[in-house]
Amino acid sequence: MSRWAPDARERLEAAALDLFVENGYEETTVAQIAERAGLNRATFFRHFTDKREVLFGGEDVLAGLFADAIAAAPDETVTGCLRAAFTAADAAMTPRQRAKAAKRVLVVAGNSELQERGLLKHARIARSVSAALRTRGADELTARLGAEVGMLAFTIAVERWMKATDDEPFSHFAAAALDDLRERAAELDSLSRFSA
Amino acid sequence: MSRWAPDARERLEAAALDLFVENGYEETTVAQIAERAGLNRATFFRHFTDKREVLFGGEDVLAGLFADAIAAAPDETVTGCLRAAFTAADAAMTPRQRAKAAKRVLVVAGNSELQERGLLKHARIARSVSAALRTRGADELTARLGAEVGMLAFTIAVERWMKATDDEPFSHFAAAALDDLRERAAELDSLSRFSA
């Protein structure tokens, strides 16, 4: 990062999201993003490989945070490992990121290529979580189920976190979503969650 | 379907998969597929919109079979609805399809664009299952969890079914995979599935 722009990455991200929403993802160029951020193209490419990376770079960070947290989780049950992963995610899911999340969702929803890319990133994080659970000793099916349930809890938590009006940590939303899903998982064979 | 080629779709699909495996997906043209099947391009386009449809057309069929079966399931628990969906899938998951499944997996695994498309189709089926469960009265989280668990059971069942050596119906594999996952779901808070 250059000495004179310690917040370059943040500024580029904010500029890119604004331009994607205003003019469309396809229509926005890297030069326009750099200009809006008051930086140059070279600085952009020091932080992102391309404009798609502005939208999905965070997913690789999350996959790494999740895997490391699961490897080090003191509570070695699957839910204990997932809670440790969610706590680690707080480093990436900051209030500043929350402000950008709605724009990001809007841009991705409007472009089927971006949606597919988002699903691929989601699948990669799930595989990373599953592999980390396997390393902790979970059998294959437990690891895959744990990863799917964990990713669904994460998705639901992001939806709720985006609507929140205070700065409650993301991990609280994720732990609550996981609890909600565990409750439902215990009832998949019963009628109690059905209104009819 | 033309009178003189009642099995045109099957022949085109088999020819396409063979060519994709032999020469690569990108390199294979619709003209080559039609020629290998002993048919013409017009017949190809009567059955498929493009060559990608040969690989993913079945997903739309499955989404419809699942949704209809869930709507009509006599057992209205989530697992009862999923079992009804799996039974309906037998219409699409025939022994003849099984013979092609390994080639299909091979082709998709070798092309990242096809992988992304596969994930998108998978996500669409999951949404269709979730919506059908909602219509049966499940609350939103139960429907989303049921859809994810159902899709994981389906994926695991496909893996096992592809390796099977007899013609046991697909739905048996799917029901067994669902039972395996329900057992694990009940134990996500315990250590019993952990070897350490």
The answer, yes or no, to whether ipTM is higher than 0.85 is yes
Chain B hits for A141, Cβ within 8 Å = 156, 180-181, 184
CA angle B135, B136, B140 (to 5 degrees): 65
The torsion angles phi and psi of A167, rounded to 5 degrees, stand at -100, 35
pLDDT one-digit tens code per residue, A109-167: 989 889 888 898 999 999 999 999 999 999 999 999 999 999 999 999 999 999 988 88
Per the listing, tokens 């003019």 go with A23
> Identity (one letter) of the amino acid at B187?
E
Touching check for B115 and chain A: CB below 8 Å? yes
Query: Which pLDDT belongs to residue B1?
Result: 43
Q: Choose the weakest-confidence range: A33-37, A187-191, B43-47, B77-81.
A: A187-191
Structure confidence at residue A59 (pLDDT): 85
List the structure tokens of A80. 């204990």
Q: How far is A14 from chain B (nearest CA, A)?
A: 27
Judge: A148–B146 Cβ closer than 8 Å, yes or no: no
Chain B partners of A120 at a C-beta cutoff of 8 Å? 112, 115-116, 119
Instruction: Share the mean pLDDT of chain B.
Output: 91
Alpha carbon distances (Å) from A148 to A155, B22, B188: 10, 35, 12
Do the beta carbons of residue B178 and residue B86 sit within 8 Å? yes
Per-residue pLDDT 10s for chain B (196 aa) are: 444 567 899 899 999 999 999 999 999 999 999 999 999 999 999 999 999 989 998 888 899 999 999 999 999 899 999 999 999 999 999 988 888 888 999 999 989 889 888 898 999 999 999 999 999 999 999 999 999 999 999 999 999 999 988 889 999 999 999 999 999 998 888 765 554 4
How many Cβ atoms from other residues are within 10 Å of residue B41's Cβ?
A: 13
Higher pLDDT, A108 or B57: A108
Quick one: angle between helices A95-109 and A140-163, nearest 10?
Answer: 100
Please, what sign has the CA dihedral across residues B62, B68, B71, B77? negative
- What percent of chain A lies above the pLDDT cut of 70? 94
* A180 vs B112, B141, B188: nearest CB: B141
**Chain B residues within an 8 Å CB radius of A138:** 193-194
What does the alpha-carbon distance between residue A194 and residue A20 come to, in Å, rounded to a whole number?
A: 41
* A/B interface, count of CB pairs below 8 Å: 117
Q: What is the pLDDT of residues A142-154, one digit of tens each?
A: 999 999 999 999 9
Instruction: Give contacts of B 116-145 with A, CB under 8 A.
Output: 116-117, 119-120, 122-123, 136-139, 141-142, 144-145
**Matching residue, tokens 């997906």:** B25
Q: Considering only alpha carbons, which residue of chain B is nearest residue A148? A: B148
Backbone angles phi, psi at B194, to 5 degrees: -100, 135
Residues of B in contact with A142 (CB under 8 A): 184, 187-188, 193
Residues from chain B contacting residue A196 (CB–CB below 8 Å): 76, 136-137
Residue-wise pLDDT for B148-178, tens only, equals 999 999 999 999 999 988 889 999 999 999 9
Residue % of chain A over a pLDDT of 90: 72
What is the number of alpha carbons within 13 Å of residue B154 lying toward its C-beta? 27
